[in-house]
Amino acid sequence: MPSHESISAYINEVCNQVRWKRVRPVIAREIENHIDDQIQSYISSGMEPDEATEKALLQMGDPLEIGSALDRTHRPKPEWSMLILIAAALLIGLAIRMFVSPVNEFGQPLLPSSLLAVAIGVVCMTAVYFFDFSLIGKYPKLTQALIIFSALVTFVLSPRVKGAPLYLYYVVLLLPIAYAAFIYIQRKKGYWGIALSLIAAFVLSGIAFVGSLWSEALLVFLSCLIMLNIAIAKEWFCSKSALGLILTNLSALAGVLAVILTHIEYITRWFGSIGGYYLPNLVKALLRSSKLFGQGDPTLYNVLPFSYDERYLLAYLTHRFGWIAFFVIVTVLTAFIVRGFYLAFKKASILGLFISTAVLLTFTFQTIAYIICNLGFPILFAGTLPFITYGKTATVVNMALIGLMLSVFRTGALRFDNPYDSANSLSKKSHPLN
Amino acid sequence: MQVNKSLLASSTTMLVLKLLEKEDMYGYQMIEVLAKRSDNTFSLKAGTLYPILHGLEKQGMLSSYEGTTDSARVRKYYNLTSKGRRLLHEKQAEWNAYSDAVNKVLKRGGAGYAFS
């Protein structure tokens, strides 16, 4: 048998033992390199090429044995801790629909549609979980185009409330994913890549901005900026990190100030439109009379039926059941976020890191905005508290996003970013994966 | 000198971690260096090494990146993480305690008695 054929036969035999197909190219490439090194070493010690190949393969060991050992190592593993936290949050949400606020202000029951949303959400999450996230790395431009296109379609077709497209909010949650795909292709482009990425952050958040989603625009921008900072710190652009970080954040700050100054009139009007200080003051009153356990002063409910208002659900729950309810919900969501970031930085490839931080930042900012608002500080618009508040589309979109993040964690620390594309690997001198 | 295989297997993980303590290496290089440093006592097979490396990487003890050396070939380098460094220290302490105990028995009891 010619030597290259016996080598590929050996590698195929090893790889055939490994049931998880996505890991096979990574293994094949490493073993092929190893055999090559061994052959070169035998040849340089005076052996004939065919003999060297034969001896090198012998030196490798039994392909079935090494293949099955690698198969045992590479089993896709679901992140149970994350799944348990999501399940806990979803159950809290459903329990609220069942026992606390079962109907909306028109008396329609919320539980059936909540259950339906969770069911669709679980299907979407599972589908995305088994989706190969590295396709985003393979087709980054297509990913961006699809997300931006759906944002534009929503912008044009969605019914409007006070001039703002109603459904744009949900598409905006996907914008950080488009940004992850964008910075992924700016690799090794130096300061030019950083500048382009900064412009992209303004453009993407601009989509939310022109849709009158001011606070979402700010959150998308902050998500993009944080991701850009991570990419620079990881030397993704192959530029000096310190200088890149300083220039980026200074220009971002200048850009934000410029936007604020040129739109100062709109922004003050928007602040006025969140309900002035009437609702926030009421929320503060609710919280002041809340106990640690059990119900606070019930006469306050006469002022406003808070149980119908999903925007202030957390404040209502705090008053009705005590601060303990607040702490339980916030703890579950915080644990989810902290564990998510830990896994993203410890266990993900660089593409996986970008994608999972995009998802986590979206999740984090929704949560923070909602909590701040429910503490009586209406700085940002309280859209949804993921999984807890009632929201059919929000539940489905959030669960699909989390499915994407879990598919990143499922693959563990191994790099799957186009293993055969050597241009995609990082030079030894700067190994930003650590 | 050739050493009993089961004794080698239990300490291979420690040796792999030790090799990466000072510098990042790729698989083939690790086998070469290990053989050289042990005067060819440890001729580690690739079939043993890669499952160990991938397992350690999955546990977060090692991280990997693709890098090029003077030759044009891109190789997968392994790097010891701080978690891996802790594991190495634990394994080393464990090994020292074990070999001290064995030595004590060997010195006191006499070889024939100890292994009868």
Name A326's Cβ contacts closer than 8 Å, sequence gap at least 6: A314, A317, A318
Which tokens in the block code for residue A296?
């606070």
What is the average per-residue pLDDT within A233-248?
85
Q: How many helices (H) and strands (E) would you count in chain B?
A: 5, 3
* Pick from B67, B69, B76: CB nearest A30: B76
Backbone φ, ψ for residue A68 (5° rounding) = -75, -30
- Whether chain A has a CB inside 8 Å of the CB on B13: the answer is no
Share of chain A above pLDDT 90, in %: 32
Q: Which of A105, A90, A170 is nearest to A389 (CA)?
A: A90
pLDDT score of A223: 94
Q: Which of 50-109 (B) contact A at CB < 8 A?
A: 50-51, 54-55, 57-58, 60, 63-69, 73-77, 79, 81
Q: How far is A123 from chain B (nearest CA, A)?
A: 28
Please answer whether residues A426 and B66 qualify as being in contact, where contact means their C-beta atoms are separated by less than 8 angstroms.
Answer: yes
Q: How far is A20 from chain B (nearest CA, A)?
A: 14
* Pick from A412, A425, A431: CB nearest B58: A412
pLDDT score of A401: 93
The single-letter code of the amino acid at A286 is: L
What is d(CA B89, CA B76) in angstroms, rounded to the nearest whole number? Answer: 25
Please answer whether residues B78 and B62 qualify as being in contact, where contact means their C-beta atoms are separated by less than 8 angstroms.
Answer: yes
Given a cut of 90, whether residue A380 has pLDDT beyond it is: no
Q: Which of A286, A267, A289 is nearest to A278 (CA)?
A: A286
The model's pTM is 0.74
pLDDT score of A1: 52
What is the average per-residue pLDDT within A132-161?
88
Among the listed ranges A392-396, A430-434, B73-77, which one has the minimum average pLDDT value? A430-434
Please answer whether residues A342 and A207 qualify as being in contact, where contact means their C-beta atoms are separated by less than 8 angstroms.
Answer: no
pLDDT score of A430: 37
What is the number of residues in chain B? 116
Higher-confidence residue of A161 and A432: namely A161
Given a cut of 70, whether residue A307 has pLDDT beyond it is: no
Given a cut of 50, whether residue A216 has pLDDT beyond it is: yes
Q: Which of A255, A216, A218 is nearest to A383 (CA)?
A: A216
Q: What residues in chain A have their Cβ under 8 A from chain B's Cβ atoms?
A: 27, 29-31, 33-34, 36-38, 41, 59-63, 65-66, 69-70, 72-74, 346-347, 412-415, 422, 424-429, 431-434
Place of tokens 């001729």: B43
CB contact under 8 A, A427 and B51: no
Name A236's Cβ contacts closer than 8 Å, sequence gap at least 6: A183, A186, A187, A350, A432
Q: How far is A14 from chain B (nearest CA, A)?
A: 10
Name A25's Cβ contacts closer than 8 Å, sequence gap at least 6: A419, A420
DSSP state of A198: H
Q: How far is B2 from chain A (nearest CA, A)?
A: 16
CB contact under 8 A, B46 and A60: yes
For residue A422, what is the nearest residue in chain B, using CA coordinates?
B74
Say if residue A74 is exposed, middle or buried (CB neighbours under 10 Å; 0-12, 13-18, 19+). Answer: buried
> Please, where are the H alpha helices in A348-418?
350-374, 392-410
* Pick from A31, A60, A424: CB nearest B45: A60
**pLDDT tens digits for A84-99?**
999 999 999 888 888 8
Among the listed ranges A212-216, A407-411, A417-421, which one has the minimum average pLDDT value? A417-421
What is the average per-residue pLDDT within A52-74?
88
Please answer whether residues B34 and B19 qualify as being in contact, where contact means their C-beta atoms are separated by less than 8 angstroms.
Answer: yes
- Whether chain A has a CB inside 8 Å of the CB on B37: the answer is no
Average confidence score pLDDT of chain A = 83
CB contact under 8 A, A30 and B69: no
What is d(CA A52, CA A57) in angstroms, rounded to the nearest whole number? Answer: 9
Given a cut of 70, whether residue A224 has pLDDT beyond it is: yes
Interface mutation target, options B54, B63, B73, chain A, most CBs of A under 10 Å = B54
CB atoms under 10 Å from CB of B99, counted, come to 11
Share of chain A above pLDDT 70, in %: 89
Backbone φ, ψ for residue A305 (5° rounding) = -75, 80
Chain B residues whose CB is inside 8 A of the A426 CB are 65-67
Per-residue pLDDT band for A423 (boundaries 50, 70, 90) equals very low
CB atoms under 10 Å from CB of A422, counted, come to 13
Q: How far is A24 from chain B (nearest CA, A)?
A: 13
pLDDT score of B10: 61
CB atoms under 10 Å from CB of A409, counted, come to 24
Question: What's the sign of the alpha-carbon dihedral B49, B52, B58, B62?
Answer: negative
**pLDDT tens digits for B27-58?**
999 998 988 888 887 778 888 889 899 888 88
What is the average per-residue pLDDT within A341-358?
86
Interface mutation target, options B66, B77, B82, chain A, most CBs of A under 10 Å = B66
Given a cut of 90, whether residue A244 has pLDDT beyond it is: no
Per-residue pLDDT band for A287 (boundaries 50, 70, 90) equals confident
pLDDT score of A428: 36
Q: How big is the CA angle at B90 (ends B85 and B91), to the nearest 5 degrees?
A: 95
For residue B81, what is the nearest residue in chain A, using CA coordinates?
A434
For residue A32, what is the nearest residue in chain B, using CA coordinates?
B75
CB contact under 8 A, A33 and B28: yes
CB contact under 8 A, B65 and A431: yes
**pLDDT tens digits for A99-116?**
877 777 677 788 888 899
What is the average per-residue pLDDT within A393-407?
91
Q: How far is A431 from chain B (nearest CA, A)?
A: 7
What is d(CA B77, CA A390) in angstroms, rounded to the nearest whole number? Answer: 48
Higher-confidence residue of A431 and A79: namely A79
What is the average per-residue pLDDT within A2-29?
85
pLDDT score of A92: 92
pLDDT score of A276: 57
Given a cut of 50, whether residue A42 has pLDDT beyond it is: yes
Given a cut of 90, whether residue A413 has pLDDT beyond it is: no
Q: Which residues pair with B74 in a beta bridge?
A: B68
CB contact under 8 A, B58 and A431: no
Among the listed ranges A5-9, A245-249, A378-382, which one has the minimum average pLDDT value? A378-382
Given a cut of 80, whether residue A306 has pLDDT beyond it is: no
CB contact under 8 A, B66 and A34: no
CB contact under 8 A, A412 and B69: no
pLDDT score of A182: 94
DSSP state of A96: I
CB pairs under 8 A between A and B: 102
- For A54, A119, B76, B95, the CA distances from A110, given in Å and listed in that order, are 70, 14, 54, 62
* Pick from A36, A74, A434: CB nearest B79: A434
* Pick from B51, B65, B74: CB nearest A73: B51
CB contact under 8 A, A413 and B63: yes
Q: How far is B87 from chain A (nearest CA, A)?
A: 16
Interface mutation target, options B23, B24, B26, B28, chain A, most CBs of A under 10 Å = B28
What is d(CA A4, CA A10) in angstroms, rounded to the nearest whole number? Answer: 10
Please spell the DSSP secondary structure of B47-90, one letter per residue.
HHHHHHHHHHHHTTSEEEEEEE-SSS-EEEEEEE-HHHHHHHHH
Chain B residues whose CB is inside 8 A of the A36 CB are 73
Question: What's the sign of the alpha-carbon dihedral A151, A157, A159, A162?
Answer: positive
